[in-house]
Amino acid sequence: MFPTPIAKTSRTWQLTYQTLLPVAMVLWLLPLLAVMWFSIKPGADFTTGNYWGLPSSFEGFANYFLVFTGSDMPRYLWNSVMITVPTVAGAVALSCMTGFALGVYRFKGNLLIFFMFVAGNFVPFQILMVPVRDLTLDMGLYDTRIGLVLFHIAFQTGFCTLFMRNFIRALPRELIEAARVEGVSEWRIFWYVVLPLMRPAIAALAVLIFTFIWNDYFWAVVLTQSPESQPVTAGITSFNAQYRAMYHLMSAGSIVAAIPPVAMFFAMQKHFIAGLTLGAVK
């Protein structure tokens, strides 16, 4: 193991390390801790200039309560859910199939199609912006959640295919060959043999895509504009305009907007990290 395990080092270094850890963590999360601090203060503290001192009263509950009752925040959150969940389902479904096709079959153009998916996943969003916005307008889906979902599914299919294809490639081929000798149809091989083995990959991708889509901002501002359809990343700017200079509320709003992917990460940590690294470092 590198560096030398702490248990094998001197007592002084062990103690230094044990104290260094929490200090480093606080420093690392300092900007975030500051916002959390702000979010429990009363508004009066900001007008009197008491930014960093102790809150003159604890207003955490009142602030967060107001975020949920005094603004469009619940609506934005709901929109985010209604954009993120269908996208995850759609992108995972499509890429299970494309990954299966590219990982199992040998046919002309296999590698070419695979590389097309991989390359597409890396392109800058701006090269897609004008035509995709136009297409969405033409379909009458501008400023709707479904318009955003359709695009996200299509774009995420690139990354998901890369991920799924490499995962399926690593599965034992004998399973598929054996099923074929038994005369099982290709669709049933996909459904009953391969798909059950893909569960870990599906879980990892689902968490990863959830975070990516929840945190998307660019497409939200390009394809939506009203509280009826905007997800929370885009909505937070309107929220901040409503509560201009009311830092206790803006802070609470930011925390609320950030929580769902964070909760997802902590709940599904193992899958999340497996997804980040397995998809990339094979």
Residue list 214-243, contact with another protein (CB under 8 A): 214-215, 217-218, 221-222, 233, 236-237, 240
179 binds another protein (CB under 8 A): no
Task: Give the closest residue to 162 by CA, choosing from 118, 194, 126.
Answer: 118
171 torsion bin: left (phi>0), alpha (psi -120 to 50), beta (else): beta
> Within positions 24 to 43, which residues make up the interface with another protein, using CB under 8 A?
24-25, 28-32, 34-35, 38
Cα separation, 201 vs 113, whole angstroms: 21
* Residue 232 beta carbon to another protein: minimum distance, rounded to whole angstroms: 8
Binding-site member from 185, 191, 192, 228 for another protein (CB under 8 A): 185
> Within positions 54 to 93, which residues make up the interface with another protein, using CB under 8 A?
none
* Residue 86 beta carbon to another protein: minimum distance, rounded to whole angstroms: 13
Is 95 in contact with 121 (CB distance < 8 Å)? no
Cα separation, 102 vs 189, whole angstroms: 15
Q: Which is nearer to another protein, 59 or 90 (CB)?
A: 90
Q: Which is nearer to another protein, 57 or 111 (CB)?
A: 111
Whats the size of the chain, residue-wise?
A: 282
195 binds another protein (CB under 8 A): no
> Cα dist. 272→111, 205, 214, 280, 281 in Å?
27, 8, 15, 13, 14
What is the residue type of 241? A
47 binds another protein (CB under 8 A): no
* Both tokens assigned to 194: 């391969």
* Residue 35 beta carbon to another protein: minimum distance, rounded to whole angstroms: 5
Specify the stretch interacting with another protein by CB under 8 A; choose among 5-13, 53-61, 65-73, 195-203.
Answer: 5-13
